[in-house]
Amino acid sequence: MDTTTDTGTATPLPASPREHLASPTTRAVLRVQHAVLDAAREHLREHGFTEMLPPIIGPVTDPGARGAKQVDVDYYGHRYKLMTSAILYKQASLTAFDKIFCIAPNVRLEPLETSSTSRHLAEFHQIDVEVAGASREDAMAVAEGLVAHVVRRVVERSAAELEVLGRDPDAFADLLSGRPFERRAHAAAVADLHGLGHDQNPDAEIDWTGEAMLSAKASRPFFLTDYPKGSRGFYDKESRDQPGRLRNFDLLAPEGYGELCSGSEREHEYGAIIARMRETGENPAKYGWYLKMVRDGIPGSAGFGIGLERLTRYIAGLESVWQASAYPKVPGVVSP
């Protein structure tokens, strides 16, 4: 079976795990991914972060994944969820340490139409980061420094693999120039897309086609900020200065690769979280353990999650994100 990329080019899935894993391309990609993980851990530990291992199942998970279905499991007679994101556990973990990160699997049954975006997997991994007492700008600075460090280390340490993949290291010259990543407000991005003839909803997240269009115009990663309230989960903090706007961000890769990372300042006050849950149609009763921790007190924080396979895809210059997984799970495709 084939998947189709944003440009309409079919990328054939491997016939078997053996064929995929034995491919010189796959071996080069997985070595690059290994270097990405090494560099990410190196950078975060040098900056005082403690690595933690979040759970894979729990009574509730992040409700904010657009259009994706959650997976239920029977946990000794109780209905538990496979994690779609570590966000709730990241906030809770700040009662132990002020700066934490984790690298963990996530499962989201993405809509079938995402099989043609080249950017979606049903099972993927995230590099998740959370910092107590941090602002959105603090979290963006960490994300920018992390991505720049990872790319620099891969260019330095994985030249042979990049050559096998046909990825020119000069593609990262602008990223590694030391200039700050551009910041662009959601409203400005919507206006840009309307100017390009794309009918982007101003009250929603930038859609997948819009992401690819904005990304294709860039030569280095850039941030999108200030998404409208209602477009993201209850944990993204609302701006006091701009009511109706969230203190959040996405980081988009250049060259059409699209979103790498999402993050925000977090709501952490009990009353505000309950109000936001009700506004977004969530039942607070489902979040009992989390709300008890919030009521007892958790730090204000900011953080983000970077898709490991998406970051690998961008650095390795791959047509599709499934190529950055040893055992890819493409939405709608039954596979090992």
- Is 1 a residue whose pLDDT tops 50? no
Q: Whole-prediction pTM value?
A: 0.94
- Is 20 a residue whose pLDDT tops 90? yes
| For the chain, percent of residues with pLDDT exceeding 70 | 96
Rounded mean pLDDT of 211-219? Answer: 94
Rounded mean pLDDT of 14-37? Answer: 96
Closest CA to 119 of 332, 314, 333: 314
Higher pLDDT, 289 or 10: 289
Confidence of residue 251 (pLDDT cuts 50, 70, 90): very high
- Is 7 a residue whose pLDDT tops 50? no
Per the CATH hierarchy, to which homologous superfamily does domain 17-324 belong?
Answer: Bira Bifunctional Protein; Domain 2 (3.30.930.10)
Q: What is the pLDDT of residue 224?
A: 98
3-state secondary structure (DSSP) of residue 269: coil
Query: From CA 39, how far away is CA 275, in angstroms rounded?
Result: 40
Q: What is the pLDDT of residue 68?
A: 83
pLDDT, one tens digit per residue, over 252-298 is: 999 999 999 999 999 999 999 999 999 888 999 999 999 999 999 99
- Is 325 a residue whose pLDDT tops 60? yes
Q: Are 261 and 145 in contact (CB under 8 A)?
A: no
Closest CA to 333 of 7, 30, 15, 27: 15
**Phi–psi pair at 102, nearest 5 degrees:** -150, 155
Sign for the pseudo-dihedral over CA of 184, 185, 189, 192: negative
Query: From CA 126, how far away is CA 3, in angstroms rounded?
Result: 22
pLDDT, one tens digit per residue, over 129-162 is: 999 999 999 999 999 999 999 999 999 999 999 9
Two structure tokens written together for 221 = 């990663």
Rounded mean pLDDT of 99-117? Answer: 88
Query: From CA 316, how far away is CA 29, in angstroms rounded?
Result: 7
Q: What is the pLDDT of residue 55?
A: 96
**Phi–psi pair at 103, nearest 5 degrees:** -125, 110
Q: Where are the domains of the chain?
A: 17-324
Rounded mean pLDDT of 234-244? Answer: 94
Q: What is the pLDDT of residue 8?
A: 37
| For the chain, percent of residues with pLDDT exceeding 90 | 85
Confidence of residue 65 (pLDDT cuts 50, 70, 90): low
Confidence of residue 3 (pLDDT cuts 50, 70, 90): very low
3-state secondary structure (DSSP) of residue 100: strand
**Phi–psi pair at 113, nearest 5 degrees:** -65, -20
